[in-house]
Amino acid sequence: MTQTFGELDHPARLLMGPGPINVHPRVLRAMSVQLLGQFDPEFTGYMNETMALYRQVFQTQNRWTFLIDGTSRAAIEAALVSVLAPGDDVVVVNAGRFGLLLSEIAERCDAKVTLVEGEWGKVVDPQAVEDVVKRVRPRLVACVHGDTSTTMAQPIEAIGEICRRHDALLYVDATATIGGMSVPVDAWQADIVTGGLQKCLGGPSGSGPITISDRAAAHINGRKHVEAGIATAGVVSGAGRRIASNYFDLAMIMDYWSDKRLNHHTEAASMLYAARECARVVLEEGLEARFARHAQAGAAVVAGVEAMGLSVYGDKAHKMTNVTAVLIPPGVDGDRVRSRMRTDFEIEIGTAFGPLAGKVWRIGAMGVNAKKHAVLTTLAALEAVLRGEGYGFTAGAGVDAALGVFA
């Protein structure tokens, strides 16, 4: 018997977790635009426009600023597998789930990983990073800017200076912050920075913006080995070891995004349209205005939950502006609260991982949801659910406190 199932018709939920979030309507419209051939001059023009747009979003002059086809993790993996050869030393700054992810991917590259460990809920002291870098002399230092598992934002400027002093490349995962917090790639002196669309940029998961410095590009091109089926006469391979992944081979992908238009893969056209429109929306609003809007929305979430007698997790001096972790009070079933938020109010908030599993909720205010109505609606629903669960506080306190921030 043939099964066709039903047409997609689920409720329009308000996604107020750590990502993904609701997609901007303009981005959805852009994704419905008809496809073009990947070498159509109009399409390659869109590719060039996308590069120019993301240079502004990343606050960089890097020529090599483009998209990786795949989720934000695809961009992370492309960065690490293209830089790290077996036996290379890499220092990973780790204070959360996504620092551990960088470590795991580096280990899969057969690199030698040294962790600079920090406490969850805090950031890592740059001096601890320098101490390890001086001892290890790594090819690469890898860190996360905003780790949504802990909601902490690691200061990057000092780490960039450390890497330059000790001739190491710096990779930064800015998936959760790009488009919502400042990601000044050139000021950081970062060599590779990657992002994702599904958080502050207000798009769907499936495309990973990346920017690469000239010195990182030179190292990657030293490992270039164009696949036999598309190599042309005169192609010169690099002296370094071939990059272990074909799909995530940045040396070939850079040639694809250059005037060479190497036929490496078929570009994900609809995702390029989405990423292009995400950047247009960001830049039309203005970076500083956008950062201020996210900061205000995040401050309103903090004020609201604290007015309900709840506590914010972690070092507030280094908290991400766009995601807030809230400690679940004793006697309250955190999963039941999240379930009731979804079933009674069509609002999603996040759970947590590892040592924080079952201990915090994570509330995001990003992209189109970093606005007054979304924050107030979420806080009002949380108030109603908590009162229903027997948690006592002054009714309306959370919404009133958040309104004060927006006022």
Residue 388 placed within a domain: yes
Structure confidence at residue 231 (pLDDT) = 86
Q: Are 43 and 167 in the same domain?
A: yes
- Choose the final residue of a domain: 283, 318, 345: 283
Structure confidence at residue 230 (pLDDT) = 87
Structure confidence at residue 235 (pLDDT) = 81
**Which CATH number characterizes residue 154's domain?**
3.40.640.10
Sign of CA dihedral 343, 344, 348, 354: negative
Q: Are 147 and 239 in the same domain?
A: yes
Residue 208 placed within a domain: yes
Domain range for 41 is 25-283
Q: Are 176 and 276 in the same domain?
A: yes
Nearest CA to 170 among 146, 150, 144, 152? Answer: 144
Q: Are 253 and 295 in the same domain?
A: no
Q: Are 277 and 388 in the same domain?
A: no
Q: Are 163 and 57 in the same domain?
A: yes
Beta strands at 323-327 and 360-364: parallel, antiparallel or unpaired: antiparallel
Predicted confidence (pLDDT) at residue 90 exceeds the cutoff of 90: yes
**Which CATH number characterizes residue 351's domain?**
3.90.1150.10
Average pLDDT rounded to a whole number, residues 216-243:
90
Q: Are 185 and 140 in the same domain?
A: yes
- Choose the final residue of a domain: 283, 314, 333: 283
- Give me the half-sphere count of Cα atoms (radius 13 Å) on the Cβ side of residue 221: 12
CA 206, CA 197: separation in Å to the nearest integer? 7
Residue 43 placed within a domain: yes
* pLDDT per residue as tens digits for the range 70-81: 999 999 999 999
Average pLDDT rounded to a whole number, residues 206-232:
95
Q: Are 191 and 151 in the same domain?
A: yes
Contact 364, 322 (CB under 8 A): yes
Contact 359, 150 (CB under 8 A): no
Q: 20: cis peptide before it, omega within 30°?
A: yes
* pLDDT per residue as tens digits for the range 39-62: 999 999 999 999 999 999 999 999
- Identify residue 304 by its one-letter amino acid code: G
Q: Are 275 and 349 in the same domain?
A: no
Grade residue 306 by pLDDT with cuts at 50, 70 and 90. Answer: very high
Grade residue 277 by pLDDT with cuts at 50, 70 and 90. Answer: very high
* pLDDT per residue as tens digits for the range 185-196: 999 999 999 999
Residue 253 placed within a domain: yes
Residue 317 placed within a domain: yes
Q: Are 164 and 302 in the same domain?
A: no
Count structural domains, the chain: 2
Q: Are 257 and 309 in the same domain?
A: no
Q: Are 302 and 244 in the same domain?
A: no
| DSSP SS3 for 116 | strand
For the chain, what is the mean pLDDT?
A: 97
Contact 76, 105 (CB under 8 A): yes
- Choose the final residue of a domain: 283, 312, 327: 283
Residue 5 placed within a domain: no
CA 383, CA 371: separation in Å to the nearest integer? 18
Residue 13 placed within a domain: no
Residue 4 placed within a domain: no
